[in-house]
A and B are shown apart, each in its own frame.
Chain A
Amino acid sequence: MRRPGIRSLAGGAAGIVAGVIGGIALTSTSAATGPPMPAVPGLDAVHVPPVLTRPGEPVTLRYAIVCAPRDDGEPCDGSGSIYARAGQSGPFGRLDLKRGEDSGEGRYFVELPSEIASSRDGFSYYAVLRDGTSGATITVPAGGETAPQRSFPLRDVTEIALGVHAFGRDRAPDERVVAAPWGSEVGEAGLAGSRELGFGGPSSFDVAPDGTVAVLDQVNARVERWSHAGVKATNVEVSGGLADFALEPGGTMDVLEPPSRMTPAPVLRSFRGDGTPRWAQRLSDRTWAKLAAGPAGPTVQQQPSEQWLPVAEHGAALGQAAQAGRGRPGRPFTNGREVVVERIGAGELRLAELVGNAPMRSWRITSATPLGEVQLVEPHGNRLVVVTKTYTDDRSDYLVLVLDRSGIAASFAVESLEWAESAPLARFRLAGSSLYRLGSTRAGLFVDRFDVEVSR
């Protein structure tokens, strides 16, 4: 092999330099779709309404005003007013928010006057919050005076003290109604993700009145129905995110999708029983916790309003303003009944059953072991079925409580088997006297059934 001369080396070096410059320039040109100039993020708010209060309990309403980050790294220059009234109707009075030193529970606050906070009929209010830098305002809840936050007093409350939870005493299911290995064939359940990023399985399910279990297998873009006749799969056009799912009477299927990379707002998609799309409707709020089939159509517990907002009525989708204008503090059931839920602190749960704006029954449950999320609260005859989670830093159980006016009529614990992630409050469904639970293991998905007809 001939030794290269100095001219060859110089020529080669010059060629490399020119080539790298040229290559980068070409690549830059072909990918020259740089991002647009920065825009100003919108105004947002955080508020946890005290929907159930004890007699004489002082009430401080706290808000976080969330605005575009300031270049100096300091928080918003915010302000705002509360429009509040005693009871559930009549004119609102204005109270200006104070700005506190600490933002851990919301920097902006107002202490409600006792004549409002201690009203026998509760109180109602909404807030108008302002970012002093941009001048933007936001009303919370978005329904404003039409659908304000409503708070009710816990009168004649049934007090229940759970004490310390004993882990490891879980009840075995009465029946395993679905057992599906991971996969994409009919009868299998889709699994997404990886060991590095975590796994997501079918995100939600529901149970038809005839006992058919319908599982939203969003990974495989389908709904699978398990019945005594076997398994059937129906394709649905969904994004694949961890969605909630509800069956309406008549077979309509509702899929509540989270925001994704291409759709930054959550969307409720309605499908006919054969999987063909009916409509898709953006939610009023930015975030959702739970979807349920209400008496007039699908309804969603949303944030920041923390209200249940109907997304459709009698088959027709409701626009964002119409949703916001119908917000209620509780989940609606038939006969005008509504159930209001408030988890407080580490281990307190308040529940009330309303008819219209009148509380009919209420419970206050305290636990020495921390309580987590409330998966389900539904009337069952003259009782209330509650499923909540109890946990320590490294263990958890679901706690099933059947409540009546005198306290706990029945209770049992269910082991939390959740190898793959699902929608947040979609683990349990009540159908007739059966409680169904969606779970998963390394091997696959399952749905278990528990009989809740247990007498005291």
Chain B
Amino acid sequence: MKAFLIAFGVAVVLAGATGAQAYHRFWANCNYEAPTFMTTMTRDAAQDYANAARYEGYQWGGGCWNYDDADAYPYDAPGDPSAHGEGGDCSGLTFKTWRESTDEWRDGRYYWRALRNVHGPYTAGDFKNGLGAPNHVVAKSTAGVMDAFASATHIGMIFTRSLYGGDQIVEAKCEACGTNIFYRTYRSDPSYGGVARWGWTG
């Protein structure tokens, strides 16, 4: 009985510490279902998907959100993947919006629903370099709707171009910024390159 009580006490303390606490934050609501293989992938459906992630927050290393128009954990420590808060990060949002596979060699279309917790294998820098079978580098001046601009530290997708020559960018920018549409000038910024997804069907 003494051994039971000691082990019980230690286990309660450990289970209540960071790991389980993190597990039971927003990610406890997420799932790990298989994606739906798709034969289509249109730019406006991608606009719908990314637009719906607006207001849902930012999580470094994350890729899971709902559609309640609020960040469940808006004050997570920036840059801490163990916070397990709501939202994607910049590359996670792009990966899911672009319907990519977790296998870098696959270039098919995989529809990940919002609560499916997946970030994908790519960093912003990977996207910038066109890594992965579905991705490729494009000239910035030719980048169009739902193509993207990526730097070594960030990636945002082109929601649409704009009258003054900048772009409305849908992006998971930072913990304090959340995920939203912002007017940006990445197109002319030398630290950003143009990147696109192969396989749009309309």
- Which chain A residues have a beta carbon within 8 Å of chain B's beta carbons? 4, 7-9, 11-24, 26-28, 31, 33-41, 44, 46, 48-49, 51, 64-71, 73-76, 101-105, 107, 193-198, 239-241, 258-262, 264, 286-290, 301, 303, 306, 341-343, 346-347, 349, 370-374, 388-391, 393-396, 416, 418, 424-425
Q: A12-B3, A16-B8 are in contact. Are A264 and B178 (CB under 8 A)?
A: yes
Provide the residues of chain A in CB contact with B166, threshold 8 Å.
289, 372-373, 424-425
- The answer on a CB contact under 8 Å between B189 and A418 is yes
Beyond A11-B1, A198-B151, A301-B164: 19 further Cβ-contacts under 8 Å?
A: A11-B3, A12-B4, A16-B7, A19-B8, A24-B15, A34-B29, A35-B86, A44-B51, A66-B48, A194-B79, A261-B57, A264-B54, A287-B168, A289-B183, A303-B162, A303-B168, A341-B164, A372-B187, A393-B139
Chain B, 149-200, CB within 8 A of any chain A CB: 151, 153-154, 159-166, 168, 174-178, 180-185, 187-190, 193-194, 200
Interface assignment of B106: CB less than 8 Å from any CB of chain A: no
Encode B85-122 as 1/0 by CB contact (under 8 A) with A.
01000000000000100000000000101100000000
In the bound complex, residues from chain B placing their C-beta under 8 Å from that of A341 are 163-164
Q: Using CB atoms and an 8 Å cutoff, list the residues of chain B in contact with chain A.
A: 1-16, 20-21, 24-26, 28-29, 36, 38, 40-45, 47-49, 51-52, 54-55, 57-58, 66-72, 74-75, 78-79, 86, 99, 111, 113-114, 139-142, 144-145, 151, 153-154, 159-166, 168, 174-178, 180-185, 187-190, 193-194, 200, 202
Kindly report which residue of chain B lies nearest to residue A199, judged by CB atoms: B153
Decide if A18 touches B11 in the complex (CB within 8 Å): yes
- Shortest beta-carbon distance, A344 to chain B, in Å? 9
How far, in whole Å, are A424 and B55 apart by their CA atoms in the complex? 21
Q: A19-B8, A303-B168 are contacts. A38–B66 as well, Cβ < 8 Å? A: yes
- Which residues in B have their C-beta under 8 angstroms from that of A64? 44, 47, 145, 160
- Which residues does chain B contribute within 8 Å of A104, judged by CB atoms? 43, 144-145, 200
28 contacts between A and B (CB under 8 A): A11-B3, A15-B5, A16-B7, A16-B11, A19-B10, A24-B20, A28-B28, A31-B21, A35-B29, A35-B68, A41-B52, A41-B67, A66-B51, A67-B48, A69-B48, A69-B52, A74-B40, A101-B202, A104-B200, A196-B153, A197-B153, A259-B177, A287-B181, A287-B183, A288-B183, A289-B162, A342-B163, A424-B184
Cβ–Cβ < 8 Å partners of B3 in chain A: 4, 7-9, 11-12, 15
Q: Which of A196, A198, A259 contacts B178 (CB 8 A)?
A: A259
Cα A402 to Cα B76 in complex, Å, equals 48
